[in-house]
Structure formats: structure tokens, C-alpha cells
């Protein structure tokens, strides 16, 4: 058994202490679905060919992940820390851009990589597109990348049938990581602003849903513009609701935040380079046990194994909150769907512009009565605003004004940087003007009998 004090100290060391460093970098990860235009499963042989072609084209990239079949699933450039990899399965490609001080250099490299990969795929009648749910998911082979992490993750998600007597239901898509894509941003944060950053950004999740939703589960849930939220919430990641979604509490101080970290669940650790799954359980309960029974993948099958918890297992605590505190001293914003490719930088621009204007952002929220202060939490408001229609009790014009005020504040923050990054916010102004977002545009296009192929092409354009 490991004492509560030791767990608390270790959580501080891993999550809070790194924020003592004074840095100001931006990191961006963009996941993008791969589509076989023949309306067949993505050809993994084509994927592997293009991975090889990419490495030849960009010689500084070296293999950073090789699966059990000998295929490269991750390439990394040690000079820039850029990573091009496949996320969960070979149906999704991810561009994880190395940290930079500004957005233009990130955008330039991303556009370069994306253009090369997309053009390469098109030689095989495949393509890439900026949609948060793969519109051709029903044709794909939903197999995880045969590697330690992705086999563990899928095994965890498939285990939902083993959970009984818990007050939730599970959806029928344990393979959702193989067809859903996100646009994530990491920003350095200092300890003295950490609590305010989490508190204030948590409150604008409804506005982010309104501006950025782009995950339509076509033919199944055509009334939702961001079905990704439900995919996380009603999976085994959501067994403990504290592990997913927004923070619906205001933290008073670092102690409050640490207590929240203690309330999270853990579901895997590693021993001797191998992942071990076990039923999702509270972190403190895990460390209070002498042994935990889990499952380890070995020679193509899973077998039972007993493990003794050790304090370093905290590094395998992986919640999937809308705002995650990482081991690197950053906050990761992860509630936004992949955007139409030409708009990819608007996600980072929005967060970056608001990061140093927390007091002003808090003032806007505190003085709003269009959606806030009407009896709804931020999480409840987000669930309302991912529908194709805004609820009748919300004034649509007022909602546009509120969204515009927040985007204006982001623009002011970017202008203060004096680099010109506010140009990346232009797509958001266009969405506010038209009372829409990419997910609503997809639903409207389908209603207008515009082909899904035309939408795929439009959302995949880089300019």
C-alpha cells in the first residue's frame, strides 16, 4: 500500500511542478481521416508506401514507431520535433508539430507536409479531408495499429461489457478512435495562472462547440454537429466522469486541483515494456491495493497477471479532459474537432489569443445573460449547442454577439503579439456572420442533396 501523502506529492511533482518553468511555446496536433474514394476500406499497403515516400522526401524524419508487423507508424524529425504518425489505426494520420513561439512557421510546415501526403494518396485514389468523423468509416477495417499502446487502448475500450452496476450506458462504437479526429493545442502555462486558465477556459466550452463543431456521424445522428463528445463520454473512458469532458467546478487553488487529480481513474500501467490493462479504478483505490489483477497481451492473446502498484505508475494516469494538464507543464485543449484543412490554424489562434486575457474573458462571461447565469453548467450548455438547432430559449443574435466578443478578445491578444497571427481567426468571423460551423454546414449540404464526395473535397482543400 502507498500512502495518500506520497501519492499527493507525486501528483504535484508530475503535474504541477513543471509549470514553474517560464516558457511560452505552442504545440499543435492535427488528426486527419484517410479516405478511399473507391468506397472501400483504406488500403493499408498504400498507407505504408506513402509513409516510405514521405521519409524519402523529408530525409530528416526518422522512424519513431514500428508496429509488430514491421511497419513504421511514426516518423519524427529530431531537428523540429515534428511527428507524422498514424493515430489508433492506419485510417487516421496525425501531424504533431514541434513547439514554436508563433503560428506562421507551424502553419508553413504543416501545409508542406499535408500537401505532399494528400497528393501522394490521390495517386492511389485515396485522399485526406478536414472532418472530425470519417465520412467513409463504414467501409473501413477497424483494426488498431498492432503496437503496445494502441492494442492496449482498444482492449480497454472493448471491455465495456465487463462493467456492471454502474450508472451509465455505453455506445456501440468502441473503435471510435479509428474514425474520429481532433485538433489539439498545447500552450505553456505558469503556476500562478494555472488555476485561472483552467477555470476560465472551462466556461467557454459552449462557445467553442458553437464555433468549431465538425463531427457529424452521418446517417446515424444527423442532429448533432459534434458527436465526438458522446464517443468519449459514453465509452470506458467515461466510467469515471471526472476523466472526460469539462470541469464543472471552480478551483480555488492548487490544492483543489490536486484533489481533482486524486479523483481520477487509472486503467493501465506498464511493466517491462508491456502494457497491462485492468478495470478502470480510482487512483487512490489503486494505490491502496496490495495487488491489482490485469491483462497483458502476449503472443497474440491476453492472459491474466497480478501487479503490485508502485508510485511511478502515476505517469500512466491519462485522463481525456477537454483541458488536460500534462507532464510537460502545458495545458492541452482537446475538445475541438479537426477543422476544414484551410482553417486548421484557427484553433490554436483562438486559444493563444485568449491565454493572456483571462481577466477580460472572465468579465465577458460574468456579465453575460444570453447563455450564462440561466441555470445551466458549461457542460450542459455545450450539450445544447452541439445540436443542429439552437434551443429556442437562447437569443441567436445575442449568442452571435457573445461569440463575436470572445473572438474579438482573441484577436486583440494576437495583435498585442505584433506578428499578424490574428489573420487565422478570419474563418471564425465568417462562421459567426453566417450563424454556422463546419458541422452545421455538413448537415445543411446533405439536406440540400450535395454529395458527400463534394464535401470531402471541399473540406480537404488547403487553400
Condensed to tens digits (0 to 9), the pLDDT of residues 358-369 reads: 999 999 999 999
Quick one: pLDDT at residue 1?
85
Quick one: pLDDT at residue 415?
98
Q: Tell me the torsion sign for CA atoms 456, 458, 459, 460.
A: positive
In terms of C-beta density within 10 A (0-12 exposed, 13-18 middle, 19 or more buried), how is residue 55 classed? middle
Quick one: pLDDT at residue 158?
96
Mean pLDDT of the chain: 96
Quick one: pLDDT at residue 21?
80
pLDDT in tens, 22-67: 888 999 999 999 999 999 999 999 999 999 999 999 999 999 999 9
Query: How does residue 344 score in pLDDT terms, banded at 50, 70 and 90?
Result: very high
Quick one: pLDDT at residue 300?
81
pLDDT in tens, 367-403: 999 999 999 999 999 999 999 999 999 999 999 999 9
CB atoms near residue 271 (< 10 Å): 14
Instruction: Give the DSSP letter string of 174-223.
Output: TTGGGTB-BEEEEEE--HHHHHHHHHHHHHTHHHHHHHH--B-BTTTBTT
Quick one: pLDDT at residue 222?
85
Q: What is the mean predicted confidence (pLDDT) over 4-28?
A: 93
pLDDT in tens, 66-124: 999 999 999 999 999 999 999 999 999 999 999 999 999 999 999 999 999 999 999 99
Quick one: pLDDT at residue 20?
85
Quick one: pLDDT at residue 325?
94
Quick one: pLDDT at residue 298?
85
Quick one: pLDDT at residue 167?
84
Q: Which three cell numbers stand for residue 347?
A: 484553433
d(CA 32, CA 214): 12
Q: What is the mean predicted confidence (pLDDT) over 179-200?
A: 96
Cα–Cα distance list, 244 to 55, 395, 434 (Å): 35, 29, 31
Question: Phi/psi of residue 271, each to 5°?
Answer: -140, 125
- Domain boundaries defined on the chain: 23-143+175-262+320-460
pLDDT in tens, 147-178: 999 999 999 999 999 998 888 899 999 999 99
Q: What is the mean predicted confidence (pLDDT) over 412-421?
A: 98
Quick one: pLDDT at residue 203?
97
What stretches of 251-335 show up as alpha helix (H) in DSSP? 254-262, 283-288
332 DSSP β-pair partners: 186, 324
Q: Which of 304, 260, 268 is nearest to 286 (CA)?
A: 268
Query: How does residue 219 score in pLDDT terms, banded at 50, 70 and 90?
Result: confident
Location of C-alpha cell 500552450:
187
Percent share of the chain, pLDDT over 90? 94
Quick one: pLDDT at residue 221?
85
CATH number of 23-143+175-262+320-460: 3.30.590.20
Q: Are 34 and 42 in contact (CB under 8 A)?
A: yes
Amino acid at each position: 500500500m502507498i500512502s495518500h501523502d506520497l501519492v499527493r506529492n507525486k501528483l504535484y511533482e508530475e503535474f504541477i511542478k513543471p509549470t514553474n518553468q517560464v516558457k511560452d511555446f505552442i504545440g499543435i496536433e492535427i488528426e486527419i481521416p484517410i479516405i478511399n474514394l473507391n468506397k472501400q476500406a483504406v488500403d493499408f499497403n498504400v498507407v505504408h508506401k506513402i509513409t516510405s515516400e514521405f521519409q524519402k522526401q523529408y530525409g530528416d524524419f526518422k522512424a519513431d514507431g514500428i508496429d509488430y508487423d514491421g511497419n513504421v507508424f511514426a516518423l519524427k524529425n529530431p531537428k523540429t520535433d515534428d511527428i507524422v504518425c498514424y493515430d489508433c489505426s492506419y485510417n487516421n494520420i496525425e501531424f504533431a508539430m514541434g513547439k514554436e513561439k508563433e503560428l506562421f512557421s507551424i502553419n508553413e510546415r504543416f501545409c508542406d507536409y499535408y500537401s505532399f501526403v494528400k497528393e501522394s494518396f490521390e495517386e492511389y485514389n485515396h485522399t485526406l479531408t478536414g472532418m472530425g468523423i470519417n465520412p467513409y468509416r463504414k467501409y473501413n477495417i477497424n483494426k488498431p495499429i498492432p503496437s503496445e499502446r494502441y492494442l492496449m487502448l482498444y482492449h480497454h475500450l472493448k471491455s465495456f461489457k465487463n462493467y456492471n452496476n454502474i450508472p451509465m450506458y455505453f455506445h456501440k462504437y468502441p473503435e471510435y478512435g479509428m474514425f474520429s479526429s481532433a485538433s489539439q493545442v498545447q500552450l505553456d502555462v505558469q503556476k500562478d495562472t494555472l488555476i485561472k486558465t483552467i477555470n476560465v477556459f472551462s466556461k467557454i466550452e459552449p462557445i467553442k462547440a458553437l464555433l468549431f463543431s465538425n463531427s457529424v456521424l452521418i446517417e446515424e445522428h444527423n442532429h448533432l454537429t459534434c458527436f465526438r463528445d458522446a464517443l468519449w463520454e459514453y465509452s470506458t473512458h467515461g466510467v469515471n466522469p471526472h476523466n472526460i469532458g469539462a470541469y464543472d467546478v471552480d478551483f480555488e487553488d492548487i490544492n483543489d486541483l490536486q484533489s481533482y487529480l486524486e479523483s481520477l481513474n487509472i486503467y493501465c500501467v506498464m511493466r517491462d515494456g508491456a502494457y497491462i490493462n485492468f478495470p478502470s479504478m480510482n487512483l487512490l483505490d489503486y494505490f491502496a491495493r496490495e495487488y491489482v489483477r490485469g491483462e497483458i497481451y502476449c503472443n497474440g492473446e491476453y492472459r491474466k497477471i497480478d501487479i503490485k502498484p508502485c508510485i511511478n505508475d502515476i505517469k500512466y494516469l491519462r485522463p481525456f479532459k477537454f483541458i488536460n494538464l500534462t507532464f510537460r507543464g502545458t495545458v492541452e485543449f482537446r475538445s475541438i474537432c479537426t477543422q476544414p484543412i484551410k482553417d486548421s490554424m484557427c484553433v490554436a489562434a483562438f486559444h493563444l489569443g485568449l491565454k493572456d486575457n483571462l481577466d477580460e474573458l472572465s468579465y465577458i462571461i460574468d456579465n453575460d445573460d444570453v447563455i450564462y447565469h440561466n441555470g445551466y453548467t458549461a457542460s450542459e450548455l455545450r450539450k445544447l449547442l452541439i445540436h443542429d438547432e439552437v434551443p429556442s430559449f437562447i437569443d441567436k443574435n445575442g449568442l452571435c454577439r457573445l461569440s463575436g466578443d470572445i473572438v474579438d478578445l482573441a484577436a486583440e491578444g494576437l495583435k498585442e503579439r505584433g506578428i499578424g497571427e490574428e489573420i487565422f481567426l478570419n474563418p471564425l468571423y465568417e462562421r459567426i456572420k453566417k450563424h454556422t460551423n463546419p458541422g452545421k454546414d455538413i448537415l445543411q449540404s446533405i439536406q440540400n442533396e450535395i454529395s458527400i464526395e463534394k464535401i470531402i473535397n471541399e473540406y480537404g482543400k488547403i487553400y
